[in-house]
Chains A and B, each alone.
Chain A
């Protein structure tokens, strides 16, 4: 079964907030206000949210609840943010990212 050429709205179920447009890698994507960016990107058929630093592998989310840090995207210029924990707002600009590493965060 082809998975990449699926029409964008295929995975959407009824419900959710008002339709708003955000930009993903420079292209407009219709999202629902207040949903996590992850939901908008996944529903739009975008699969590789980021590419890993070493093996250059495509990655999306794994846990969906803020634990795994594998849904990292760049939001309005700030990199390494979790798409699952950041709600959509009108006019937001999202970029899928090539992982820059983890500078900018404090670590245990």
Chain B
């Protein structure tokens, strides 16, 4: 067992910011991240000369210079008693007992089931971006990218720049962007970035359709067609407006859901965000959670982009180190950016048409292949919680541990029990928060 001052979980902008601020404050820091090297979702990809790549190379150099112990390809599978951090690394388990923990586990694309979403070639916007940006592989030659929100712009640009023929299908009207103007005035760098994408999309000849959504994907062994339709203001498809497009990949992006499982399993209180229709880790001014000495930063506390994540990380790391001055300094970077993030979250919040009417034969739990119909039948029969549905249908029992179906199951429960989502019970989360080979756990003494 090692006892560093601070353990940071997650090597994205938030985790890196936290590790740096704590190390600058004289703390010994261990940073654990699942990937080959610290980057997270925004900075992933090979070294190059782009501004983003320069920035992450600089941040990695800073981690090294300040002596942060970076454990890459490491998974934190559980945190016990708010202080015992269990890591699997290179096939072995390690036990860390720090005096403070910073959780910075990030987010993933909101899964939204529709007919054909399990076909090969149907993927999240994040997956399409990861393929092209981090791995230099096109997801397809002819891609429909559908959804809502600012993240679609960089993805469409990156796909088109790499040579794919892209159609960008947005559920929101074009004026959704204009409504952002008041909040945008204080974040000129983000406005420049957004306008840059809009120009690039025009230059690259990307077709852009507002007020449309993807209604299904079709194909035999792989996706061959994307069917889109016009939508009303609630994102309900207008009858008779369907049209079918030949494609070899489909990507969908309706915003992100936070990876709160580790925080939740460690007892941190969550807060419900009405716009995102999702639960985030609740934090105070210093980014401390409801569990003393456990901090949280980045997308798990609210979807706000990489810059906010980094500065929140710095607040958390400095606070964990008791360095009030550094925390106050970092906090100054947050105000206007937080306000802009909230405006974005509101403008592109999912509307009811997104999840209403998921057909009974659509698979909701991809791992255990449980359909919306089976789940609805059980709810009608009295199952009133994710736990009961898991016991009766196996939904949520697979390897993804409910990350792909959990939000939809919540929705179906809300619909079937006529409650708002915020009142629907959540599934319980217990370690290991991601599957760990049994031989690793077998040799491990779990602290109690």
Contact = CB atoms under 8 A, between A and B. Distances in A.
Contact of A104 (B123, B221, B437): B437
Interface string B132-157: 10011111111000000000000000
Chain A interface mostly: loop
A49 to B, nearest CB: 8
Contacts of A43: 137
Given A48-B221, A62-B123, A69-B399, A106 B139 contact: no
Nearest to B162: A13
B369 A55 contact: yes
A66 interface: yes
Contacts of A69: 367, 398-400, 435
Contact of A68 (B259, B366, B441): B366
Nearest to A57: B118
Which range holds the interface residue count of chain A? 35 or more
Nearest to A70: B366
Contact of B429 (A38, A42, A53, A108): A108
Contacts, number: 165
B404 A62 contact: yes
Interface in B207-253: 219, 221-224, 246-248
Contacts of A38: 135
B41 interface: yes
Contacts of A15: 46, 136
Given A13-B162, A65-B108, A59 B126 contact: no
Contacts of A59: 118, 120, 366
A50 B432 CA distance: 24
B249 to A, nearest CB: 9
Contacts of A98: none
B121 A60 contact: yes
A1 B246 contact: yes
B62 interface: no
Contacts of B127: 61-65
Given A12-B136, A62-B404, A107-B435, A47 B124 contact: no
A14 B366 CA distance: 33
Contacts of A104: 437-438
Contacts of B121: 3, 47, 60
B409 to A, nearest CB: 15
Contacts of A63: 108-109, 111, 123-124, 126-127, 404
A54 interface: yes
Given A4-B221, A43-B137, A108-B429, 12 more contacts: A3-B223, A12-B137, A47-B120, A59-B120, A62-B366, A63-B109, A67-B400, A67-B403, A85-B34, A102-B399, A106-B436, A106-B441
22 contacts: A3-B121, A4-B222, A13-B163, A15-B46, A15-B136, A36-B135, A39-B136, A47-B121, A49-B120, A59-B118, A59-B120, A59-B366, A60-B121, A61-B127, A63-B123, A64-B123, A64-B130, A65-B130, A66-B34, A68-B366, A72-B399, A106-B435
Task: Give 6 closest A-B pairs by Cβ, nearest first.
Answer: A64-B127, A60-B120, A39-B135, A69-B399, A105-B435, A13-B136
